[in-house]
């Protein structure tokens, strides 16, 4: 069973479109995250939710809106896509929201290409 | 967030041990040292973590300097499957939010 899954795996779309990426975890974790990995391969946190509550929002444009319908799901909706949004987006989850010993489990990534 | 410094890349032969260094001279007393790796075209995966003592698990060992200003991830017998980017990350257990702050990491190449 896949612990953290994302759909779709690949997403090719035109500038200006709106798209969503879905994430599900079956680990029973309380906290979920979205990370973005750009073309230079740097991974950066975007958002984090704990028990459906937003706890991290790292100066991401408001065209990006995370939605957590329940603890097991964290979806990412992107409005008015721009060329610079092309990247790989990773979802992750962890048991708790504190740092220290907590381990994060990552999904396989969604490769978004905006033309 | 306290910073870590890692070599850009390292190379190893298959079946030989690999020592991946990480410097973290500004580490605080509440920082855990974590290692993650990212295999090609995959998401990052947890490798190991420690606070003060050396740690072993089925994937690797973590050797932490006595002053905690540096650490070394040890892969005892590198395989081709270990070729990845390895990230050394400090995690403050007092921090609310639990985000991972990734640096550039070390690209490990394994030769057969």
- Nearest neighbour of B99 by CB, restricted to A56, A107, A108: A56
Question: Which one, of B108, B96, B110, lies nearest residue B47 by Cα?
Answer: B108
Mean pLDDT of A23-41: 93
Task: Quickly state the pLDDT bin for A39 (edges 50, 70, 90).
Answer: confident
Per-residue pLDDT, A53: 85
Per-residue pLDDT, B90: 92
Report the distance separating Cα A75 and Cα A24, nearest Å.
Answer: 8
* Residues A53-94 pLDDT 10s: 888 888 789 999 999 999 999 999 999 999 999 999 999 999
Per-residue pLDDT, B97: 67
Mean pLDDT of chain A: 92
Distance of residue A14 Cα from the nearest chain B Cα, in angstroms: 23
Residue A1 has pLDDT above 80, yes or no: no
**Residues B101, B104, B105, B111: is their CA dihedral positive or negative?**
positive
From first to last of its 112 residues, chain B has per-residue pLDDT tens of 568 999 999 999 999 999 999 999 999 998 999 999 999 999 999 999 999 999 999 999 999 999 999 999 999 999 999 999 999 999 887 776 678 889 999 999 999 9
Per-residue pLDDT, A60: 87
Helix, coil or strand: residue A85: helix
Contact B45, B55 (CB under 8 A): no
Per-residue pLDDT, A98: 67
B46:A103 CB<8 A: yes
B interface residues, A as partner, C-beta within 8 Å: 30, 32, 38, 41-46, 49, 85, 91-102, 104
Give me the sheet containing B55-56, strands edge to edge: B18-23, B70-75, B61-64, B55-56
Per-residue pLDDT, A101: 78
Per-residue pLDDT, A97: 65
Per-residue pLDDT, B1: 57
Mean pLDDT of A35-42: 91
Report the distance separating Cα A47 and Cα A10, nearest Å.
Answer: 21
Task: Quickly state the pLDDT bin for A96 (edges 50, 70, 90).
Answer: confident
Report the distance separating Cα B103 and Cα A94, nearest Å.
Answer: 20
Report the distance separating Cα A98 and Cα A112, nearest Å.
Answer: 30
- Nearest neighbour of B98 by CB, restricted to A98, A107, A109: A98
Contact B4, B101 (CB under 8 A): no
Nearest-by-CA chain B residue for A96: B98
Residue A46 has pLDDT above 90, yes or no: yes
Instruction: Please name the helix (run of DSSP H) or strand (run of DSSP E) that holds residue A42, with its range, or none.
Output: none
């Amino acid at each position: 069973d896949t612990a953290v899954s994302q759909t779709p795996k690949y997403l090719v779309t035109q500038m200006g479109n709106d798209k969503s990426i879905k994430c599900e975890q079956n680990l029973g974790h309380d906290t979920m995250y979205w990370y973005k990995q750009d073309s230079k391969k740097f991974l950066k946190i975007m958002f984090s939710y704990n028990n459906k509550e937003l706890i991290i929002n790292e100066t991401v444009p408001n065209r990006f809106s995370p939605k957590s319908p329940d603890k097991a799901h964290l979806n990412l909706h992107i409005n008015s896509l721009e060329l610079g949004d092309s990247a790989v987006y990773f979802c992750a989850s962890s048991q708790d929201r504190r740092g220290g010993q907590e381990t994060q489990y990552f999904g396989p990534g969604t490769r978004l290409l905006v033309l | 967030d306290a910073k870590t410094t890692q070599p850009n890349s390292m190379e190893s032969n298959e079946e030989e041990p690999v020592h991946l260094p990480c410097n973290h001279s500004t580490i605080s007393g509440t920082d855990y040292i974590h290692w993650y790796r990212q295999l090609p075209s995959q998401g990052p995966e947890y490798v190991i973590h420690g606070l003060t003592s050396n740690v072993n698990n089925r994937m690797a060992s973590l050797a932490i300097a006595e002053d905690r200003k540096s650490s070394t991830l040890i892969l005892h017998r590198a395989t081709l499957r270990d070729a990845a980017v390895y990230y050394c990350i400090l995690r403050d257990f007092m921090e609310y939010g639990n985000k991972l702050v990734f640096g550039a990491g070390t690209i490990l190449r394994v030769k057969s």
